[in-house]
């Protein structure tokens, strides 16, 4: 799995002009699922995401996690995180998991976060979405369950 994690003051996602998910302070997570990913990958990613110490403490240092601040999550599926543009000009998405399996692992990730008492909003899996992110900082972190970066 891959994730783009952004600290956000407030963010939302809409489909066909209708808002389907929104959060106040917290994290926006764009999550891609790779062929062969498992629930173990999802658990690793969610533990990493909710425990990342990327929110400022009283001294202005990145020292607090989503759990520490009682923040919210906006999770959006994004198969394009597995786009490979090394050859030619059109990305290949052959590493992205098929939609059925990817949807199941995405849902598993959402439920994992909810079991940690985190308020989670989502986009609509497979839909064309408009994501509005008020990236705070800005702070953007890249994660990969294979620990490639």
The torsion angles phi and psi of 69, rounded to 5 degrees, stand at -95, -5
CA–CA gap between residue 35 and residue 16 (Å, rounded): 29
CA distance 133 to 4: 12
Region of residue 26 (left: phi > 0; alpha: psi -120 to 50; beta: else): left
Catalytic positions: 78-80
Residue with tokens 């963010």: 11
């Amino acid at each position: 799995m891959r994730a783009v994690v952004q600290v956000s003051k407030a963010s939302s996602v809409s489909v066909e002009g209708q808002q389907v998910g929104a959060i106040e302070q917290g994290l926006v997570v764009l999550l891609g699922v790779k062929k062969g990913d498992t629930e173990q990958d999802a658990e690793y990613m969610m533990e990493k995401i909710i425990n990342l110490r990327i929110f400022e403490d009283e001294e202005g240092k990145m020292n607090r996690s989503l759990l520490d601040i009682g923040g919210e999550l906006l999770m959006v599926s994004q198969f394009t995180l597995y786009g490979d543009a090394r050859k030619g000009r059109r990305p290949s998405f052959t590493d992205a998991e098929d939609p059925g399996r990817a949807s199941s692992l995405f849902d598993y990730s959402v439920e994992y976060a909810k079991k940690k008492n985190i308020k989670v909003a989502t986009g609509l899996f497979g839909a064309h979405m408009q994501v509005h992110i008020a990236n705070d900082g800005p702070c953007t972190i890249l994660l990969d369950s294979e620990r490639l970066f």
